[in-house]
Chain A
Amino acid sequence: MTVHNPYLVGAPLADTKAPAGPIENRWTTRKFEARLVNPANKRKKTIIVVGTGLAGGSAAATLGEQGYRVIQFCFQDSPRRAHSIAAQGGINAAKNYRNDGDSVYRLFYDTVKGGDYRARESNVHRLAEISTQIIDQCVAQGVPFAREYGGLLDNRSFGGTQVSRTFYARGQTGQQLLLGAYQALMRQVGAGTVELHARHEMLDLIMVDGVARGVVVRDLVTGAIGSHTADAVVLATGGYANVYFLSTNAMGSNVTAAWRAHRHGAYFGNPCFTQIHPTCIPPSGDHQSKLTLMSESLRNDGRVWVPERAGDDRPPGDIPEHERDYFLERRYPAFGNLVPRDIASRAAKNVCDEGRGVGPGGLGVYLDFAEAMTRLGPDVVKAKYANLFTMYERITGENPYRVPMRIYPAVHYTMGGLWVDYDLQSTVPGLFVIGEANFSDHGANRLGASALMQGLADGYFVLPTTIGDYLARTSAGEVPATAIEEAENRVTATIDRLLSIRGDRTVDSFHRRLGHLMWEYCGMERTAEGLRKAAELVPALRAEFWSRVDVPGSGTDLNQSLERAGRVADFLELAELMVIDALHRAESAGGHFRAESQTADGEAERDDENFAYVAAWEWNGPDRPPILHPEALEFEYAHPSTRSYK
């Protein structure tokens, strides 16, 4: 691959599965047109679901209820550990319980706009429609959402919206939603419709004539390589933010299943769209293994500020009001502290770049509750945010009831993922991708409280309909033994190779280095120059990995170094694609901020003329330029406008 020609352009992609007609009827039409599998035949159909988070857990539970035979895998010791559990803030739904003018259409509109007009209208409208059903479903399962004294559900607002449509369970909404899905899933395991394999990692797809027909998994306890075949495979494996090493993701979150599917022909959509979350606890030293997110809901009551003057190192309490810069409220009076994540993150970075950051290394801004403590009283603040405050104190040793929190942006969520059509099917027939693992719905930026909504919409409602249509239309034959053998051989060869290098560098040292490169050159702000540099450095690091990595232990028992080595190998390949995607997209959109593409006052400048498309990338071999297949985006309803929160 030469730097002059980092990618090729292939045929455009058309997503043909969304029905035509008025947007509010499309999902209803699709559901009606979808073919059905009769109950007696459902028992004969096997579906593999990889991942047990909100998307995978809800999908497997629902498919099991419907009568399909489901085989499910997760790499954790229990499905209840999936990283969805750590989502704090809430889940959006257009219930309009607050009578503040919310509607399905407004949620749709906010989401398309929030995503900087880089998402598909049809998908987003469907998501907004289903949002109301999700709340009903979760309440019926016993998810203990916050309640008003009258017994009805409470709401709050989140970044990027002016209505109160976020349902929450203190700061543990993800946990409670996941446990709801997990319990529904365990019910199906008990009923015998779902066969669950914990501590198993998917390492390859089994392909028959270009169709996904199963997976190869490694039992992480015994090291045994095993194969499972099915009529369809569903990936619900989450996002790839751990490519940056430091992120808010769980330590085990990885791209391996999705990446290995990509190598079999599943296109990767918009890999450069990474969300930087504005309210994380700043890093404290070299030992740092991850970053901890503080719910964005804190910005409902916390005010963000830095000292007016650069280099002002007085303690926050000694800085008088008139020497503080509440920069979000100043620059974005309409949304104030509740501007969307990309805007808040970049604004924080800018003030830190000006030398006005606070805390170690000047990498932090204050999130101050002093005003809320006066206005609401400490008891109300405590009732709303106690667990977050406690968590903050544990990590930093500072008491946020007395001194302002310090926050800094961190890599959080990935809007990119495997490309899927309206039915959530990838470019590999029989391979469906749901939740954060797919690219759809959020465009270039995800609004707060929309990740949980998408995971559950896909898992409970969309996939169970669309996969039925696929299964009704296809009749899968036997999977030839040679296909299984080939897939297993690929897996074994990779493991053997990793174990045989016996170099002089640890797996983590490569991961840290990769993360550093990506944050530096493909992080919050990207330049063509930096990206071109990364396009040389990342492949060089990958080459070094394969000659110098040392993976201790063997492949025949629990070996966490080996698990990580395989994942880092995939991150190294993905990182190259992220860099190429970021380089080719010479515009700023949402989480992708190209320094060359900004307005005079420093806001992101989108280029709808040249980039109103999804970039879907085809794998073309490890050292060959990937092939770009653009999917044009059309906006019939939410007309692209400059995204202003002023």
Chain B
Amino acid sequence: MKFTLRIWRQRGPRDRGRLVDYPIEISPDASFLEMLDVLNERLAGAGDEPIAFDHDCREGICGMCSLVIDGTPHGPEQATTTCQLHMRKFADGRTITVEPWRAKAFPVVKDLVVDRSAFDRIIRAGGYITAPTGTAPEAHSIPVPKPDADLAFQAAECIGCGACVAACPNGSAMLFTAAKATHLGLLPQGAPERYSRAVGMIAAHDELGFGGCTNTGECTAACPKEIPQDVIGRLNKDLLRAARHHDPGA
């Protein structure tokens, strides 16, 4: 297959950046990232600097790959990370535009690489259950109803890629934050810190420059793990309750 790749090149955070066209010929069985590998190999062979992009496991689970492809985070295929997107999904001969995540809280590092450390800071602000090592009770002493476990699991599947932020017109990380609040808040082990967790994570979220949530739903549509929008409702409910009854630290 033949494509024209129109790729965002930006030398560093202070460079203005521009789109550059690269023709490429590639097997339909290649993944999107393998296509970039092939292009990079060609650039390196010609002594040019390859295009920087983030990727690691290439199995759709580490959340490190990104890329806005033709305006959509992770490209056109539903519920798919860029590393799991294959070229057979594109019409031959097309021009494909490739850009980095764009959000205030995710500054560009170089080319297609952005800094997503803000997500770690949200987790740091309460996205955990306080369970120091070696103090845990016997696992079977905490039964969890299967429906709760399944819902918690669904929220826990978030891979922290940031597609939700890239897709959101407000640059909000509400889906990411709410997924973690839902995962932990649904489990009996997570109940004691449920409200302080919600309050802490949201405070960090806002402070880090993520925008507010207006329920446009672009986040869920772009999420490669199909985290449902309900989680945002849950987080909002937790926040309301926290404001009315709970944590004085809120």
Question: Which 9 A/B pairs are nearest by Cβ-Cβ distance?
Answer: A151-B143, A183-B128, A140-B136, A140-B131, A136-B136, A139-B139, A190-B124, A284-B29, A144-B153
- Contact check, B129 vs A80: say whether CB atoms are below 8 A apart: no
Q: Check A97 against B157 for contact (C-beta < 8 Å).
A: no
Interface contacts beyond A78-B119, A187-B124, A561-B44: sample of 10 additional A-B pairs, CB < 8 Å, sorted by A: A65-B132, A85-B62, A86-B61, A139-B139, A175-B61, A189-B120, A190-B124, A288-B34, A391-B84, A561-B50
Q: Which residues of B contact A250 (CB under 8 A)?
A: 56-58, 62
The CA of A136 and the CA of B142, in the complex, are separated in Å by 10
- B107-150, CB < 8 A from A: 109-110, 113, 115-117, 119-120, 123-125, 127-140, 142-146, 149-150
- Range of interface residues on chain A? 35 or more
Question: Is A260 among interface residues, defined by CB-CB distance under 8 A?
Answer: no
Cα A133 to Cα B139 in complex, Å, equals 9
With a cutoff of 8 Å between Cβ atoms, the chain B residues found around residue A169 in the complex are 153, 156
CB-CB < 8 A to B146: which residues of A?
147-149, 151
A186 touches B160 (CB 8 A): no
* B67 CB, nearest partner CB in chain A, Å: 14
The 0/1 profile, CB within 8 Å of B marked 1, for residues 280-297 of chain A is 000011111110110000
Query: CB-nearest residue of chain B relative to A290?
Result: B58
Interface string of B47-87 (1 = CB under 8 A from A): 11110101111111111100000000000000110001110
* A552, B42: Cα distance in complex, Å: 12
B interface residue count range (under 10 / 10 to 19 / 20 to 34 / 35 or more): 35 or more
Please, which residues of chain B bring their CB within 8 A of the CB of A290? 58
Contact across chains for B41 and A508 when beta carbons are under 8 A apart: yes
CA distance A553 to B44 in the complex (A): 9
By a CB distance below 8 angstroms, the chain A residues around B43 are 552
Known contacts A147-B144, A287-B34, A557-B110; A292 and B58 CB within 8 A of each other? yes
Q: Which of the candidate stretches B90-98, B183-191, B212-220, B240-248 sits at the interface with the other chain?
A: B183-191
| CB closest chain-B residue, reference A394 | B84
**Cα of A196 to Cα of B123 in the assembled complex, Å:** 14
Interface 1/0 per residue, A550-594 and B, CB below 8 Å: 101100011011000000000000000000000000000000000
Other-chain contact of B184, A136, A142, A149 (Cβ < 8 Å)? A142
- A153–B56 CB distance below 8 A: no
Contact A140–B44 (Cβ < 8 Å): no
Separation of A584 and B43 alpha carbons in the complex (Å): 42
Can you name the residue of chain A whose Cβ is closest to the Cβ of B116?
A77
- Asked whether, in the complex, the Cβ of A179 is within 8 Å of the Cβ of B156, the reply is yes
State whether the Cβ of B23 lies closer than 8 Å to any Cβ in chain A.
Answer: no
Please, which residue of chain B has its CB at the minimum distance from the CB of A249?
B57
Binary contact readout A391-406 vs B (1 if CB under 8 angstroms, 0 otherwise): 1001101000000000
Q: Which residues of the other chain, B, contact A642 by a CB distance below 8 angstroms?
A: none
Could you tell me if B84 and A83 are in contact, using CB atoms closer than 8 angstroms?
no
Distance in Å: Cβ of A13 to nearest Cβ of chain B: 31
**B17 within 8 A of partner (CB):** no
- Nearest B residue to A171 via CB reads B61
A141 touches B47 (CB 8 A): no
Taken together as a complex, chains A and B put the C-alpha atoms of A58 and B132 apart, in Å, by: 11
- A47 lies within 8 A of chain B by Cβ: no
> Is B133 within 8 A of A144, CB to CB?
no
Question: A81 near B: Cβ within 8 Å?
Answer: yes
Q: Is the CB of A184 within 8 A of B187?
A: no
- B123: chain A residues within 8 A (beta carbon): 182-183, 186
> What are 23 A-B pairs at a CB distance below 8 A?
A62-B133, A76-B56, A85-B63, A86-B59, A97-B140, A142-B187, A144-B149, A144-B152, A152-B143, A176-B153, A183-B123, A186-B123, A284-B27, A285-B30, A289-B31, A390-B79, A394-B80, A395-B31, A461-B133, A508-B37, A550-B45, A552-B50, A558-B110
Q: When chains A and B are docked, how far (Å) is the Cα of A142 from the Cα of B126?
A: 13
Q: In the complex, which residues 141-176 of chain B have their Cβ closer than 8 Å to any Cβ of chain A?
A: 142-146, 149-150, 152-153, 156-157, 159-160
CB atoms of B134 and A133 under 8 A apart: yes
Report if A198 contacts B (CB, 8 A).
Answer: yes
Spell out B's residues near A (CB within 8 Å).
11-12, 26-27, 29-31, 33-35, 37-38, 41, 43-45, 47-50, 52, 54-64, 79-80, 84-86, 88, 109-110, 113, 115-117, 119-120, 123-125, 127-140, 142-146, 149-150, 152-153, 156-157, 159-160, 183-184, 187, 189-190
Contact of A460 (CB < 8 Å), options: B116, B133, B137: B133
Q: Across the interface, which residues of B come within 8 angstroms of A292, CB to CB?
A: 58-59
Please determine whether B142 and A76 come into contact, CB atoms closer than 8 angstroms: no
In the assembled complex, which residues on chain B have CB atoms less than 8 Å from the CB atom of A80? 62-63, 120, 160
On chain A, the residues within 8 Å of B52 by CB distance are 558, 560
- A172 in the interface, Cβ–Cβ < 8 Å? yes
Contact of B145 among A151, A184, A289 (CB under 8 A): A151
Taking CB atoms, residues of chain A closer than 8 Å to B12 are 557
Residue of B nearest to A508 (CB): B41
Q: With A139-B139, A464-B133 as known contacts, state yes or no: A552 contacts B156, CB within 8 Å.
A: no
| Residue among B12, B30, B44, B133 with most chain A CB within 10 A | B133
* Cβ contacts under 8 Å, B157 to chain A: 172, 175
A139 and B189 CA atoms in complex are apart in Å by: 8
CA distance A136 to B137 in the complex (A): 6
Q: Contact at A141–B129, with CB atoms within 8 Å?
A: yes
Interchain CB contact under 8 A, A85 and B84: no
Asked whether A258 is an interface residue with its Cβ less than 8 Å from the other chain, the reply is: no
Known: A172-B157, A187-B130, A550-B44. A79 touches B120 (CB 8 A): yes
Contact (Cβ within 8 A) A142 B124: no
Whether a CB of chain B sits under 8 angstroms from the CB of A449 is no
Contacts of A509 in B (CB 8 A): 41
B61 CB contact (under 8 Å) in A85, A95, A186:
A85
Task: Give A552's nearest chain B residue, CB to CB.
Answer: B49
Q: How far is the CA of A170 from the CA of B33 in the complex (A)?
A: 26
Is A150's beta carbon under 8 Å from chain B?
A: yes
Residue from B63, B127, B137 in contact with A186 in the complex, judged by beta carbons closer than 8 Å = B127
A557: chain B residues at CB < 8 Å are: 11-12, 110
* CB–CB B124/A76 < 8 A: no
